[in-house]
Structure formats: structure tokens, C-alpha cells
Amino acid sequence: MGGISQQTNPNRKLRLAVLISGRGSNLQSIIDACRIDEFPAQIKVVISNIGDAYGLVRAHENNITTRFVSHKNFATKAEFETKILSILEEFEIDLVCLAGFMRILSPTLITPWEGRIINIHPSLLPKHKGLHTHERALEEGDSESGCTIHYVTPGMDEGEIILQKTVPIIAGDTPETLAARVLVQEHIAYPEAIRIMASKLQHNL
């Protein structure tokens, strides 16, 4: 299986694959971070299961290789994920970043990448796993919300937390205003999490 090289190179940057399904705003935050010379990672491929995802446009505008892999073209989830695995192998990826990838992954993909696949979720896990996080935070009268970067495991949104960013919930907030405030923190959190992962994985590069 692909992934981290066995040769040690303290100067080599993490080779990232970013998986998306939509507009790719978190992808953009990673692209922007990668423009910084001392940032310890570079995006090697963006993979989308949606052919017209705007995130693919963002990648093309920044000369990043893309792959469109529609889950609808495969008879089983395992076949779909095996195709993604082959792309990760092709690009010798070190770290997989899920950034609005709207498919629940199975052990077919997760197990070979255990400890090297991360996701961003728009709540302060373990609260509000799954969808409609902002609506649920408001309905339950939470005083704060935020975002979480965590390892991906077979249990949805259950992996070990890497970092969290918090925002206050303000009187009069709607799901839309709260989402916008959390999104600002998401764009800060993902590059920070990649730095953390680079420090953890550097000895294997």
C-alpha cells in the first residue's frame, strides 16, 4: 500500500491528497497555506466524487492535479474506495485530508490509512456528530460551537481529536450566521492540523 516513504528526509514536505464533494472552501485554505515556503506540506492531488464540484475549479486554477471518481460508477462502496486507494498509491500520498467529502468511508479505505487520514467537522465533537450541526447547537441552547479536526475511523465522527476551534453562540444567531462564524475558524484549523500531522509523521518521511 502507498503512503509514507521509508527513506528519512527531514526537508521533504508531506504529500497531501484532499478529498472534496463541493465548493472546496477548506481546500482553498490548504492551498493558501501551501503557498508559504515553510509550510510542511504540498497538495499532490484533489479527488472529488462530484464532477462539477467548485473545489475542482479551485484546484485547476492553482495547477493542482485532480481526479473525478464518481461513486455512482461502481457497483459497491468497496470498489469505489479501491479506486481511490489506487490514486493515493499513484501519487505516493502521505496524508489524506477530507474537506467536505460527503461519503461515509468504510474500512476498505480507512484501515490501510489508519493514523494518516483526517477530517474536519463543524461542531465541537463529541457533540453534534453527523449533519445539521449548527441547527442542533442552536436548538439545544449551546453557549458555544466550533469545529474539530479528527482522525477518521470506521465510527462516524468518532476518531481521536487533533484540534478544535471555538466560537461563541450569540443571541439572535441563525444556522447561517453561526455557520459563517465557524467557517472562519475552519479555515484556520485545517492548516494548523496539517502542521501537527507533519510533526507527528516527519520521522517516517
Active site residues per annotation: 121
Radius of gyration of the chain (CA): 17
Angle between helices 54-61 and 25-34 (to 10 degrees): 20
Residue 96 and residue 105 in contact, taking contact as beta carbons nearer than 8 Å: no
C-beta atoms surrounding 50 within 10 Å: 19
CA distance 46 to 72: 18
End-to-end CA distance of the chain: 15
What is the full DSSP assignment across 65-128?
Answer: -EEE--GGGSSSHHHHHHHHHHHHHHTT-SEEEESS--S---HHHHGGGTTSEEEEESS-TTSS
